[in-house]
A and B are shown apart, each in its own frame.
Chain A
């Protein structure tokens, strides 16, 4: 293969190579398998070839780009980047089973805690996405993802009247805590799930647990439980240090600088830009409204003016009146 495959994914933060579970899974798998990917870390899903993130641009004509993590992993495997090469058939079966466990038990709670829990969503998730997605999508996308995820939870639980609340949270977290405990028991004191080298299951587990470990959430029941499971916590930090050394080292420095100065200097230009943008936006909408409602009109006067006298003089005059 001449050109490396191109992968589009959400950019990272909080010491993670990406903020999104699916993107993290794919990135981790690519690292584990040693696949040389050209990674585009972007914040605008509309710029990805599939319209969603992650997306892998392939060289084949039949499947131009892939977006589901499982499909991407299968594609990488076909290109001989296989992290599961050493697994026995039974271990391959276990991989499939534990990935199902993650998807059925942990993922709903993860979605809930990031996208539905109102405190976390407003303080952290929506804020991060709104700050990072370019204008004007940042007004649209976070809410759209929020609604999609809530809808997804409703459909998966089979309850169309589902409302976010304590009851739902309890049920979801009950499953998720059990799932994390089971994973911790299965991992035991091993370095990875199947011996000394990481496999695709490790990529999935890492993708699901790393956001919980790193993102600072105001409502952190899941995080507390994960922190109490020492081996899982070490396992995730280990993968971060071993396979994503640049991200692991970067955030503390940046975080510190952001935190210490954020109040006055660092966020100032950002703030000014936002102020200017919002003032412009408000003026624009007021003007638009005024023109639409006929409070200010530009064209009405022209025909009258044309009747009265020479065009160029009158035009100037009338425009002043408009103002």
Chain B
């Protein structure tokens, strides 16, 4: 979203309360969505639940093309459309819902830094495994990504996407990495997160922040998604405090609300435990 539009949105947003019919759009849950999109979508859902903002989840096969930035997920609130976690956090902040107000300057700097760590390493590693590992790309990513379309469009779109991701990996210097090195990076990232979390319930003491939502979204999705190899999940499973952290957020933000209203769209995969 452009800055001018952002400023405009935040002005308008401040005036209106959060509506009941807010909708989150993501690709089809069963047949289409890929690991990285699923993780981003779950992160946004977790964030909105932490803020106690109700949202209805809608799955569309063309969600990627509906999004203003070309990335999923995006939320449709009132007459505004906002995509990706960062802008959504700003948007809710403008409406007076924020999780990070209690932090001091240094903590806020650290929170942003760790959020970039997740984006820089976990998200990039997910993209790498999806599109640059040939087995995963052939068996999972390309068929799933193009499942709503018929031949030959499915082939064209899938290869186009793969080509785009590979060029991106090239540009950021990941193209030369082997799969083992990527797993090693994921492991390093998890170790950093585990160290930072320590024995605290959330990354910054008792209250969850957007960092907790982002980390939960990625770790939980990796743990509950079946890929061609289990190695990615195994990397996380060696950090018991991260596992406990995922379970804690799942229990406090996803399970009771599910019991409360089963009609609400609920796009989380199978339960962790």
Contact = CB atoms under 8 A, between A and B. Distances in A.
Given A94-B110, A104-B119, A182-B108, A158 B69 contact: yes
A152 B193 contact: no
Interface string B59-75: 00000000001110000
A170 B4 CA distance: 9
Nearest to A181: B109
B270 interface: no
A47 interface: no
Residue in B2, B105, B120, B172 with the greatest tally of chain A CB atoms within 10 Å: B120
A155 B167 contact: yes
A167 B188 contact: no
A151 interface: yes
Interface in B114-149: 114, 116-117, 119-121
Contact of B109 (A148, A167, A185): A185
Contact of A151 (B3, B171, B195, B196): B171
Contacts of A160: 164
Interface string A45-69: 0000000000000000000000010
A170 B110 CA distance: 24
A93 B193 contact: yes
A156 interface: yes
A100 B116 CA distance: 6
A116 B147 CA distance: 39
Nearest to B120: A100
Contacts of B110: 94, 97, 186
A151 B172 CA distance: 11
B189 A96 contact: yes
Contacts of A159: 70
Nearest to B167: A155
Contact of A100 (B113, B173, B195): B113
B112 A182 contact: yes
A98 interface: yes
A190 to B, nearest CB: 11
A101 B112 contact: yes
B106 interface: yes
Interface in A124-156: 148, 151-152, 155-156
A270 interface: no
Contact of B106 (A104, A105, A151, A185): A185
Contacts of A167: 2-3
Contacts of A174: 3
B272 to A, nearest CB: 24
B98 interface: no
Interface string B157-173: 00000001001101111
B171 A98 contact: no
A155 B168 contact: yes
Given A100-B113, A174-B3, A188 B192 contact: no
B97 to A, nearest CB: 20
B116 A101 contact: yes
Interface residues of B, number: 33
A96 B192 contact: yes
Given A92-B192, A185-B105, A185-B109, A97 B171 contact: no
Nearest to A188: B106
B225 interface: no
A101 B121 CA distance: 11
Contacts of B167: 155
B120 A156 contact: no
B19 interface: no
A171 interface: yes
Contact of B171 (A93, A152, A185): A152
A105 B114 CA distance: 12
A215 interface: no
Residue among B70, B117, B167, B173 with most chain A CB within 10 A: B117
Interface string A301-321: 000000000000000000000
B195 A182 contact: no
B48 to A, nearest CB: 23
Contacts of A104: 116, 119-120
A151 B112 CA distance: 26
Interface string B177-196: 00000000000110111011
A183 interface: yes
A103 interface: yes
Given A90-B195, A92-B195, A96-B188, A156 B172 contact: yes
Interface in A165-207: 167, 170-171, 174, 178, 182-183, 185-186, 188
Contacts of B198: 90
Nearest to B194: A93
A285 B68 CA distance: 51
Interface of A: 68, 89-90, 92-94, 96-98, 100-101, 103-105, 148, 151-152, 155-156, 158-160, 167, 170-171, 174, 178, 182-183, 185-186, 188
